[in-house]
């Protein structure tokens, strides 16, 4: 099924709103939607709610022969599934352009930044190693799938525990979960992505865009960062999109401070989950469903959305943020800022003119006049005596 096309008025309102510093859902330009991380009863099951975008990730593992090129390392495999349940234009089993983009960016953020210590997943060099597989399921698509998918994948990896293994000579013994406590994965740092939609020739960047904003925007800027303010992924997409060097830097600053908060939040949710499990009463994902209904219905939420709109226009450049330079690690899979800034120098100040509204033609309703005329006409022909008698009959009937 085709995706519902974007109408002119939706696009215009979003663009006009962003120009005035107002977003369609009442957020400010650098405000994220409400994020919620929940874990399932299984190890390595994590669900992330980003506004109404809902993504679930499940980690599983199996013992495989390691690759000959990296004989002392385990493997990490990331797979994204997008079903029709999430959005009507998704096709089950086929990722499409958007799906491939999500899959690739999650891979770049998590796999290429080497946040998982793969060497610890090796059981026997050149013979046996763990393959960790992350299956990401998009459950509802309301924009910014990339951020939700990376957060879900990272949450699932942090939550996951693999069975313990001991070696008896060259015999590998894999212990059942009830036999020995399972072992968590070694996670070196927590990278996540933060996406910005680019408006106004790349002068205005909007954090955590909704589906509507993503579609109305000129382009998108995705940044992968960890809690140490280290940039590990950067991507700009969109047709002929311009972005200023300053805008990239200010986005990086916003993203870095948000990343610190998000990692904190993830750690807190993990700690909460661990505490509940220790108490022996974990309800899994059931909680998240109840949580959502509460989120929609309560009056307090309405108050959040109804804070008085601010008069001053918030532009990212003017934002008062701690100016700590983002560190660029030139390690594996890191994009340097220079290459992406080359396209940015254009300073064209073209204003997007609102399209002329369609003139609705005025229709003169004249039924009463016409009726009156008809009455007169019938009177006119009354000279004929025969017609007159017939007329009397018809008026009786009607």
Q: How far is it, in rounded angstroms, from Cα 21 to Cα 27? A: 9
Joined together, the tokens standing for residue 245 give 């060097």
Stretch that binds another protein, among 100-108, 158-166, 215-223, 370-378 (CB under 8 A): 370-378
Choose, by CB under 8 A, the member of 68, 168, 306, 322 that binds another protein.
Answer: 306
Residue 359 interacting with another protein (CB under 8 A): yes
The interface with another protein within residues 55-94 (CB under 8 A) comprises: 88
Site for another protein in 20-39 (CB under 8 A): 20, 22-26
Which residues are CB-contacts of 87 (< 8 A; sequence separation ≥ 6)? 3, 140, 141
Q: How far is the CB of 99 from another protein (least distance, A)?
A: 21
Report the C-alpha gap between 65 and 88 in whole angstroms: 40
| 208 vs 27: CA distance, rounded Å | 10
User: Looking at 22-70, which runs of residues are DSSP E strands?
Assistant: 35-39, 45-50, 53-64
CB 223 within 8 A of CB 252: yes
Taking CB under 8 A as the binding criterion, the range among 14-22, 152-160, 190-198, 269-277 that sits at the site for another protein is: 14-22
CB of 394 to another protein, least distance (A): 6
* Residue 198 near residue 218, CB atoms below 8 Å: yes
> How far is 150 from 50, CA to CA, in rounded Å?
12
Window 164-203: contact mask with another protein (x via CB under 8 A)? ----------------------------------------
5, 93, 169, 280: residue in contact with another protein (rule CB under 8 A): 5
57, 75, 197, 260 from 205: Cα distances, Å: 28, 36, 6, 20
Scanning 42-50, 185-193, 215-223, 356-364 for contacts with another protein by CB under 8 A, the matching segment is: 356-364
Residues 208-227 that bind another protein (CB under 8 A): none
Nearer to another protein, 188 or 381 (CB): 381
Residues 188/281/138/115 CA torsion (nearest 10 deg)? 0
What are 363's two structure tokens?
A: 């229709």
Classify each residue of 76-86 as buried b or exposed e, where b means 16 or more C-beta atoms within 10 Å of its C-beta. bebebbbeeeb
377 binds another protein (CB under 8 A): yes
Give whichever of 7 and 176 is closer to another protein, judged by the CB atom. Answer: 7
List 166, 301, 332, 346, residue binding another protein (CB under 8 A): 301
Q: How far is the CB of 347 from another protein (least distance, A)?
A: 26
**Please, what is the end-to-end C-alpha distance for the chain in angstroms?**
53
Strand, coil or helix: 14: helix
Residues in the chain: 398
Of the listed pieces 3-11, 117-125, 168-176, 230-238, which binds another protein according to CB under 8 A?
3-11
| Residue number, 278 or 308, with CB nearest to another protein | 308
Instruction: Kindly list the residues in this chain that would bind another protein in the complex (CB under 8 A).
Output: 1-2, 4-10, 12-13, 16-17, 20, 22-26, 88, 293, 296-297, 299, 301-303, 305-306, 308-309, 354-355, 357-363, 365, 368, 371-372, 374-379, 381-388, 390-391, 393-394, 397
């Amino acid at each position: 099924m085709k995706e519902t096309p974007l109408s002119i008025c939706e696009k215009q309102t979003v663009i006009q709103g962003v120009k005035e510093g107002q977003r369609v859902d009442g957020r400010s330009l650098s405000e994220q939607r409400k994020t919620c991380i929940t874990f399932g009863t299984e190890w390595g099951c994590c669900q992330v709610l980003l506004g109404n975008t809902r993504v679930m990730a499940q980690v599983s593992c199996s013992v495989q022969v390691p690759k000959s090129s990296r004989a002392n390392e385990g493997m990490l495999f990331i797979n994204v599934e997008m079903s029709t349940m999430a959005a009507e234009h998704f096709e089950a089993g086929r990722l499409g352009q958007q799906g491939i983009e999500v899959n690739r960016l999650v891979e770049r953020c998590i796999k290429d930044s080497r946040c998982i210590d793969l060497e610890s997943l090796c059981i026997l060099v050149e013979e046996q190693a763990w393959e960790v597989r992350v299956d990401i399921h998009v459950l509802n698509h309301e924009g910014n799938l990339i951020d939700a998918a990376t957060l879900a994948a990272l949450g699932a990896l942090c939550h996951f525990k693999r069975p313990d293994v001991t070696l008896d000579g060259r015999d590998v013994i894999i212990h059942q979960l009830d036999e020995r406590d399972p072992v968590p994965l070694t996670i070196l740092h927590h990278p996540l992505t933060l996406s910005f939609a680019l408006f106004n020739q790349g002068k205005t960047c909007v954090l955590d865009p909704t589906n509507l904003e993503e579609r109305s925007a000129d382009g998108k800027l995705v940044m992968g960062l960890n809690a140490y303010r280290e940039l590990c992924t950067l991507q700009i997409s969109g047709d002929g999109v311009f972005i200023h060097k300053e805008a990239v830097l200010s986005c990086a600053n916003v993203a870095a401070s948000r990343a610190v908060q998000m990692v904190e939040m993830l750690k807190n949710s993990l700690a909460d989950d661990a505490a509940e499990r220790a108490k022996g009463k974990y309800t899994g994902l059931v909680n998240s469903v109840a949580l959502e209904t509460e989120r929609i219905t309560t009056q307090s939420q309405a108050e959040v959305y109804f804070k008085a709109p601010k008069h001053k226009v918030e532009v990212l450049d003017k934002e008062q943020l701690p100016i700590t330079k983002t560190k660029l690690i030139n390690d594996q899979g890191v994009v340097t800022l220079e290459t992406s800034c080359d396209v940015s120098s254009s300073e064209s100040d073209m204003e997007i003119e609102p399209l002329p509204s369609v003139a609705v033609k005025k229709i003169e309703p004249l039924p009463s006049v016409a009726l009156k005329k008809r009455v007169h006409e019938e009177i006119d022909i009354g000279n004929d005596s025969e017609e007159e008698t017939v007329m009397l009959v018809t008026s009786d009937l009607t």
